[in-house]
Structure 1
Amino acid sequence: MNSEALHARPQHSGSAPSKPAVRPATPADAEGIVRLRSAFVLGEPLTREWIARSGAGLAARLAPGGDARARVVDAPDGTLASCALALVHSVLPEPASPSGRAARVHAVATHPSWRRRGFGQAALTALLGGLRAERVSPVDADVPGAAAALFRASGFCGSLAPMRMTWPEPPLRGRVDEKTGHVWLPPEQYAETVMKATGFACVLFTDGRERPVQLHGVYSPTHPWQLVGGTMDPGERPWETAVRECREETGIELGGPPKLLATVYGLPGAEWPYSTMGLVFDGGRLDEARIRDIRLDPREHDEVRVLPLERWRPLMPPRDFARLRAVLEARRTGVAAYFDTWDWGTQ
């Protein structure tokens, strides 16, 4: 067995099909569409909770009689490679909208692995064709700057962004200390003023020769090779997250008690708007049979590798490699690491 490449990544053809296979979306596609929109359209990605809530809402709206219209292109692994989503709404009948129905395109998104193949343009063209067949007009669009050329190629014109109103936040209310003049806010209002952070928990596995085991992510060009683990769900404690993520990503059931290897902190940046705080636990050493039996979730990872530490350096961003090195050193010395420079990028 070659333990350095246990699960091969799928090989994609370098040439795109002349006509991407576009199909109408069904309620089963709702969460995939929401995930593409969250990751590649919205300025601030949705949390897992909001992805689930938005996906459930969209599934109902994609059902027969609903107001959502979408076209998708499938990837070979069963996930969505690309999507185009519009919502239909009622308007007053007039020459520009004789049917009394109009639409707004809320998302055209393609996963980075499948870009430059015409998938997004094909999905948008099919979506607009369906709306035209239903006599839905006019059609507006939320257009990020990077997608302007795609929309103009489909016939959209204009440059003014739509105006939007959100209800203002209520004024801060609290108890005033008569001696100092300090305002003591109610807990829920004070919570809105403090730093926001997301939490994660990871697990370091090595083989018998102390070589780190890592997974290749299919969704994150920023962090291509990753420790087993992920973001904490609401209500979870860090060790619970580590156990759940390990089961979901590898099929391995962690035993206790937890052994902490490192505390990790990162400042927010262009890649993520919140600070990041997490714990890395020791998952122990895996023999070749257990490594070979790792079961990947293809929606998240497509390869397992086992490499000596220095062989990881050219495969990872410097901050990811520095974190891996600190965690491995903590395993070697038995002294937990404090790693506070896992910052998000500025570009």
Structure 2
Amino acid sequence: MSTELKSSILTESGTNELEIIEFSLLKKQPDGSKKICYYGINVAKVREVIRVPDTTDYPNAQPNVLGVFSLRGKLIPLVDLASWLGVPTENDLENKVVIVTDFNRMANGFLVDSVSRIHRISWEEVESPSQFLEASDQDCVVAVVRQNTNLIMILDFEKVIADINPELSMEKYDVTKDKRVVIDDVMMAKREAKTIMVVDDSAFIRRLIENTLRSAGYNVISAKDGGQALDSLTEFVRLCNEENLPISEFVDGIVTDVEMPKMDGMHLVKRLREIEEYKTTPIVMFSSLMSDDNRRKAIELGANDTITKPEIGRMVGLMDSFVLNIEPPEGSGSTPAPESEE
């Protein structure tokens, strides 16, 4: 069994919709019974679903990595997702499947008990987990979807990957040690006069972006999803009109994710560019899903540039370029926009 999956929703014009794959883990209860736990992942992150492959042990691998396997000429780590989540399940590989993902420019395999269906939904139907629990850097759930009587937990797969492969984690990046970024009294003073809004539903990723920008001198405000960001930015417009102030009194630039509850990043960009005060505000999209097609769509909708996670090292250079009009050093700045198709 091998099922290849593709989604074109992100490349549509800010529809604020997504497709999620519903999968499950069969949790063993203390009394011997079993409980189905429902989870989800954006179809755009999934390459295919396969039977459990033969794996080869990898020396000194993280405890939740079962080994590596070869698929279409590429070596891919196999992660025991139930083990990482702390969900006890049967060790019956014959009846399990593997979700092969492709994002952050990496391929990974995740062992699960079953994959059931694909749901096409609006981001407005996706709820933030913070209404159930207080968000923290340790959260592994970024969103919740209600389907019939079930709650489907959308997992933070970027956090899973960062945990099993710390060498590739954005946590290792320190802007103060990046020779491409100028950090002196003059530049710090220039950045301290500017405010950047960071929009990301993952508390883990949001903290990393905030810390990077603040360490370089920028003032930072944040929002946990596109809906909250639009509400705040709309309120800024109201206050500016009341006091006859420029919008830069409140915000000078925006960094936004794509996948978010209530309103995704593509739709947020589209809505902001329809508001006069934000027609020229610098917007950079920072996402694990920034394929060539998605980058093209982001630029068409009005984003100034895009960054593919985990390239957080480009963040300050781009902000300097768009917010301070300072040409970024070679290797840290803007990527040429993709040529439009005839």
**TMscore range, shorter length:** under 0.3
Please identify which structure carries the higher strand content: 2
TM-score (norm 2): 0.24
- Higher alpha-carbon Rg: 1
TM-score (norm 1): 0.24
